[in-house]
Amino acid sequence: MSIIEWEKDETVAVIKLNNGENRQNLEFAQTFNRVLDEIVEDKDITAAVITSTDPKSWSLGVDVEWLMKQFTEQNFDNIKNFMYEMNTVFKKLLLLPIPVIAAINGHAFGNGAILSCACDFRFMKSDRGYFCFPEVDLGIPFLPGMVAFVRKAIPEYKFNEMKLTGKKIGAAELAENHIIEKACADADELMNESLAFAKTFNKKRGIFKEHKKRMHKQIIQVIDTEDKAFIEPVALMISD
C-alpha cells in the first residue's frame, strides 16, 4: 500500500493519506506530486477531497525524525529536495484546475495545517482533532510562500494569534473564524459533507484554473522568488 493513494467516488478524486500520522518527508512530497499529476490527467475528475485513513491524525507535519537524520548525516540535498518538492505540492494545489477540499479528520499540526491551507476549502470533524502552528515553539520559521498562502485561508487577525502563540484550536473555533466551511460532528458526517460539497462542482477546467491562477498570482511569485534564499542555506536553519 502506497503512503498516499487515490480512488474515484463518481467524479471526485478521494486522496487518502495512508501513513498513520502522515508525517511529511521527501517520499511523502514525491508521492503527493505523482498523485496530483495522475488526478489532473483524468479528465473526468471534477473535484478532489484529501482525507486520512488514520482516525486520529490528518497530518502531523514534517517528519522530524527523518529531518534530524538528514541533518546528522549531512544529507542537505535531501532536505532541500524535500522543501522544493513540498513547494511543488503547494503550488499544484493552489493552481489545480479543480477544487480541492481538505477533509480534516484528525490533528493537523504544522506542515499538516499548512497543507490544508493550500487547498481551496476545508471541512473538519469536531469530536477529535486540533489545528495548530507549533513552529514558534519548535524554532522552525515559515517560508515566505507559506505565510502568503496561509493568509488566503485564515483571516489576518486569527493567523497572527495562531502563528505567534502556537495555540491549538478545534473545529468549532475554526468554523467561527471562517477557516473551515463546516465543523462536522464525526468522521462519517465529515466525509458525507465534504463529498457532497465536492460534487456540487462541475466547472470547466480552463476557466477554473485561470481564476485560481489570477487569484494566487502573488502567492506563486513569493514561492518562486523568495523561498529559495531560505532553502539553499539549509545547513544553517536549525534555530538556537
What does the pLDDT look like over 50-96, one tens digit per residue? 999 999 999 999 999 999 999 999 999 999 999 999 999 999 999 99
Report if pTM > 0.75: yes
Question: Per-residue pLDDT for 208 more than 80?
Answer: yes
Percentage of the chain beyond pLDDT 90 is: 95
CATH superfamily of 4-198: 2-enoyl-CoA Hydratase; Chain A, domain 1 (3.90.226.10)
Question: Per-residue pLDDT for 235 more than 80?
Answer: no
Percentage of the chain beyond pLDDT 70 is: 98
Identify the CA nearest to 218 among candidates 156, 147, 157: 147
Identify the pLDDT of residue 236.
Answer: 59
Q: Show me where the domains of the chain are located.
A: 4-198
Q: 132-148 burial by CB neighbour count: b if 16+ within 10 A, else e?
A: bbbbbeeebebbbbbbb
What is the side-by-side order of every strand in the sheet holding 131-132?
57-59, 107-109, 131-132
Record the cell numbers describing residue 137, joined without a space: 515553539
Stronger pLDDT, 140 or 176, i.e. the higher one: 176
Task: Quote the CA–CA distance of 125 and 136 in Å, as a whole number.
Answer: 25
Question: Per-residue pLDDT for 155 more than 60?
Answer: yes
- HEC string of 42-85 equals CCCCCEEEEEECCCCEEECCECHHHHHHHHHCCCHHHHHHHHHH
What is the residue whose three cell numbers read 458526517?
A: 189
Record the cell numbers describing residue 122, joined without a space: 476545508
Cβ atoms of 89 and 36 closer than 8 Å: yes
Identify the pLDDT of residue 240.
Answer: 40
